[in-house]
Chains A and B, each alone.
Chain A
Amino acid sequence: DTGVSQDPRHKITKRGQNVTFRCDPISEHNRLYWYRQTLGQGPEFLTYFQNEAQLEKSRLLSDRFSAERPKGSFSTLEIQRTEQGDSAMYLCASSLDMAGGPADTQYFGPGTRLTVL
């Protein structure tokens, strides 16, 4: 079973450095989501892709954040000039768009925990 995978699982960086995370969705899933989860909170939506098109970005996604899904398969999330407030768990989820079908159920990866020193 190949669920959603994320790499790396943990990242420690110094303030001001750039970091990039990767998400590999479930292979036939055409929708991909990024969420951010801070300690003691539920995940918050960051952005959504339908195939390779980025269709929505949350206002949480400042101009230091960029996400791509170049071939409609894996996705990357880059944070430039990291700040201590970026420390969080970054979660990726994928789902299959089935018009008229059952719930567009999102399956989550294990997350990447970012610590900015």
Chain B
Amino acid sequence: GEDVEQSLFLSVREGDSSVINCTYTDSSSTYLYWYKQEPGAGLQLLTYIFSNMDMKQDQRLTVLLNKKDKHLSLRIADTQTGDSAIYFCADSLSGGYNKLIFGAGTRLAVHP
């Protein structure tokens, strides 16, 4: 079945860039999403990218999509302590509606 994989942990220094990576298996993905989850909270949509795009930039966030390798990344520029959270990559399965398949999440720790 379809699968999404992420590295589990990333530690960065405040002010540096963070890069969170994700791979997926579905060949017919239409949209791929990045969500952020803070402790005890629901998921906050950060950004998404359509499958015919290579890159999308939104303020401090840059999403890169390599469709050939089925690789997605999220770059956060000038990482702040408030960016500490779990980041989920999600793939939307084709078929008329968006059933999202999530990775296990990458825990981002930002230290001074």
Please report A residues at the B interface, Cβ cutoff 8 Å: 4, 6, 31, 33, 35, 40-45, 48, 50, 55-56, 91, 93, 95, 97, 103-111, 113
Contact = CB atoms under 8 A, between A and B. Distances in A.
Mostly, the A contact residues are strand
Contacts of B101: 45
Contacts of A106: 45, 98, 100
Contacts, number: 65
Contacts of B4: 42
Contact of B97 (A43, A55, A91, A109): A55
A106 B88 CA distance: 14
B100 A105 contact: no
Nearest to A58: B99
Given A93-B43, A105-B45, A113-B40, 10 more contacts: A35-B100, A43-B88, A43-B100, A91-B43, A97-B97, A103-B98, A104-B97, A104-B98, A110-B41, A111-B41
Nearest to A104: B98
A109 B77 CA distance: 27
A39 B31 CA distance: 26
Contacts of A104: 31, 92, 97-98
Interface string B39-54: 0111111001010000
Interface string B81-101: 000000010101000011111
B99 A45 contact: yes
B99 A43 contact: no
